[in-house]
Amino acid sequence: MSTSFLGSVLTVCAFLVFIGIVIWAFSSRRKKDFDEAARAPFALDEKDESSRDEKFGNKS
């Protein structure tokens, strides 16, 4: 086996892993998890909201 053959095999394996990751990332089963993760930075729990309101004097 030559070095170029092993390099070719490794390249094909890496490409197949890449395609697998792309399929996994865009599968419909993962959509809910990714949508939830996308909203995470905007989610505040009630404790954070009340402490923020007290700090800035906002009353709802």
* pLDDT exceeds 90 at position 58: no
For the chain, domain boundaries? 3-56
* pLDDT exceeds 70 at position 52: no
* pLDDT exceeds 90 at position 25: no
* pLDDT exceeds 60 at position 60: no
Which tens digit of pLDDT belongs to each residue from 37-48? 889 888 876 556
pTM: 0.54
DSSP letters of 5-45? HHHHHHHHHHHHHHHHHHHHHT-GGGHHHHHHHHHGGG---
Contacts of 46 (CB under 8 A, 6+ apart): none
SS3 10: helix
